[in-house]
Amino acid sequence: MAEEVVLLDFWPSPFGMRSRIALAEKGIKYEYKEEDLRNKSALLLQMNPVHKKIPVLIHNGKPVCESLIQVQYIDEVWHDKAPLLPSDPYQKATARFWADYVDKKIYDLGSRVWKTKGEEQATAKKEFIESLKLIEKEIGDKPYFGGESLGYVDVAFIPFYSWFYAYEKCGNFSIEAECPKLIAWAKRCMQKESVAKSLPDQQKVYDFILQMKKHFGIE
Amino acid sequence: MGEVKVLGSWSSPYGLRVQWALGLKSVEYEYINEDLLNKSEMLLKYNPVHKKIPVLVHNGKAIAESAVILEYIEETWPQQHPLLPKDPYERAMVRFWINFLDNKDKVAPFITFFTGVGEEHKKAVKEAKELLKLYEEQVLGEKKYFGGEEIGMLDLAMGWMAYFGVIEEIVDVKILDAETFPRLHAWIQNFRAHPVIKNNLPDHDRLLQNYTEKRQRFLAYSPHTENA
């Protein structure tokens, strides 16, 4: 049976990047469809009627929504290559916990860094750096969060690296100065083709953020 | 198969999910009740990142976040009462709906239903009913349980509905009624009847008393109340 895989996505979305990386790691051929979020396609609305959001993974016509659920799905279906989740239940749980942490903390706090200014931004910056320092500890002595190879947390987190330059410029701070180990990890991930090909250029993301700021009327 | 501890709170549906999962799999565990206004050293040690319940401790290793714990329980004790389907697509659907209903925007209307008054309350009732309609029609559908013929992980996540009636009693507004939501209503009866669930529900009278007190406090401090 021919496998048909489609990814509805939006180039700067860190969530979309997760699925791009997972598919690349597994060597899966798929059709990438760029969505204009101001003018969502009929396909997107049909495949994700509940949230109307990207990314949407469509496998043989059936949609899977939510990036981390997509990554788990990809890992389960194409289980014979490049496993992303560990096989040990406790290590798996730890991986799930930290991926959830990225969603709960990193994304929200990072958003507040570029969306706010003054006092609010100062607080957001402080909390953002604290959250980065906390997760940075989880790398330990390993090359990746997943150990010797790219794993679930790496896939969940590395997309945000493409937004670091934008956060730094908007917040006027250096992430490398605060979290050198994290940046070393990120650069290591970027050496991998699956990651390098899935992440947009940081300057491009920054330009996009500047446009968003203008659009939202943030100075 | 090792020592299992659960740190929970008597009325938290997130903690109960974990207890129900272990109960369905006949896994013995020690339950430790946390006073969330006075968190124990143990809780802070086992969940330093979020400092929340539930926490599962298995052979001294701690796991936090109820959705993560449920997956761990399923993987560690896979034979007894499976909580997830085998098919990857169906598993993705279960995970999608758990993620959906746990989202703070989807929980909020039910919380505001309890804490709010006036316009805010009206809006919450409307939103809550829309969500219940979605759950009844699209998620449960014609099935006996969200998990099909047997209770599954999604049923456990929906378990808060099993004692939502007490909240409705206190607020004196019914939204999850049998006429509007016959299937959800039938599901609640079936769910509550299962021996593991039946023996692990928060005490009705205690809920009534405790939550009535809470509700009085919200009303007293609300600027919308007439006698404020």
Its ipTM equals 0.95
More confident residue, A218 or A17: A17
Mean pLDDT confidence for B56-72: 97
> What's A5-78's CATH class?
alpha beta
Residues A205-214: pLDDT tens digits?
A: 999 999 999 9
Q: A79 vs chain B: nearest CA distance in angstroms?
A: 11
CATH number for domain A89-216, candidates 1.10.1370.40, 3.20.20.70, 1.20.1050.10, 3.40.50.720:
1.20.1050.10
Each residue of A12-39: pLDDT tens digit?
Answer: 999 999 999 999 999 999 999 999 999 9
Q: What is the pTM of this model?
A: 0.95
Å between A218 CA and nearest CA of chain B? 25
B22 has a pLDDT exceeding 80: yes
For every residue of A80-141, DSSP letters joined together read TSS--S-SSHHHHHHHHHHHHHIIIIIHHHHHHHHH--HHHHHHHHHHHHHHHHHHHHTTTT
**CA–CA dist A179, A195 (Å, integer):** 20
Contact check, Cβ <8 Å, B92/A72? yes
What single-letter DSSP state applies at residue A51?
T
Residue A50 Cα distances to B138, B157, B159, angstroms: 10, 19, 22
Which of A73, A92, A96 lies nearest to residue B92, judging by beta carbons?
A73
Mean pLDDT of A80-109: 96
The residue of chain A nearest to residue B99, with distances taken between CA atoms, is A66
Cβ of A66 within 8 Å of Cβ of B96? The answer is yes
Cβ neighbours of residue A111 closer than 8 Å, sequence gap 6 or more: none
The confidence score (pLDDT) of residue B225 equals 53
Average pLDDT over residues B83-95: 98
Q: How confident is the model at residue B227 (pLDDT cuts 50, 70, 90)?
A: very low
The whole-number pLDDT of residue A42 equals 97
| Cβ partners under 8 Å of residue B125, min gap 6 | B109, B113, B173, B175
Instruction: Please name the helix (run of DSSP H) or strand (run of DSSP E) that holds residue B201, with its range, or none.
Output: none
Rounded average pLDDT over B95-113: 96
Model confidence pLDDT, tens digit, residues B152-208: 999 999 999 999 999 999 999 999 999 999 999 999 999 999 999 999 999 999 999
pLDDT at B133 over 80: yes
Please tell me the predicted confidence (pLDDT) of residue B2. 77
Domains of chain B: 4-76 (3.40.30.10), 88-221 (1.20.1050.10)
Q: Average pLDDT of chain B? A: 95
Q: Is the pLDDT of residue B226 over 70?
A: no
Interval B142-168: pLDDT, tens: 999 999 999 999 999 999 999 999 999
**Least CB-CB distance to A97: which of B58, B65, B75?**
B65
Q: How confident is the model at residue A68, as a pLDDT?
A: 98
> Across the interface, which of B68, B96, B100 has its CB nearest the CB of A100?
B68
Interface of B with A in 19-58 (CB under 8 A): 49, 58
d(Cα A183, Cα A180) in Å, to the nearest integer? 5
Query: In chain B, count of helices (H) and strands (E)?
Result: 11, 4
**Model pLDDT, residue B1:** 55
Q: What is residue B224's predicted lDDT score, i.e. its pLDDT?
A: 61
Q: Binning pLDDT at 50, 70 and 90, where does residue A153 land?
A: very high
Whether residue B145 lies within 8 A of chain A, CB to CB, comes out as: no
Yes or no, beta carbons of A50 and B75 under 8 Å apart: no
Q: Which of B67, B75, B92 sits opposite A64 (nearest CB)?
A: B92
Q: Which amino acid is at B128?
A: A
User: Cis peptide leading into B54, omega within 30 of 0?
Assistant: yes
Q: What is the mean pLDDT of residues A196-204?
A: 98
For A40-60, the pLDDT digits (tens) are: 999 999 999 999 999 999 999
Contact between residue A11 and residue A60 where contact means Cβ atoms under 8 Å apart: no
* Mean pLDDT of the region B198-222: 91
Give residue limits of the domains in chain A. 5-78, 89-216
**pLDDT score of A162 more than 90:** yes
Contact between chains at B65 and A100 (C-beta distance less than 8 A): yes
**Is residue A184's pLDDT more than 70?**
yes
Cα distance from N-terminal residue to C-terminal residue, chain B: 56
Residues of B in contact with A94 (CB under 8 A): 63
Q: B96: which chain A residues are within 8 Å (Cβ-Cβ)?
A: 64-66, 69
- Residues 109-138 in B contacting A (C-alpha not used; CB under 8 Å): 134
Residue B218: predicted pLDDT: 85
User: Quick check: B7 contacting A, CB < 8 Å?
Assistant: no
Q: What is the pLDDT of residue B228?
A: 40
CA angle B100, B101, B105 (to 5 degrees): 85
Q: What integer is the mean pLDDT of B59-78?
A: 98
The whole-number pLDDT of residue A217 equals 85
In chain B, the percentage of residues whose pLDDT exceeds 70 is 97
Which of residues 125 through 144 in chain A touch B, CB cutoff 8 A? 134
- The predicted-structure confidence for A101-152, as pLDDT tens digits, reads as follows 999 999 999 999 999 999 999 999 999 999 999 999 999 999 999 999 999 9
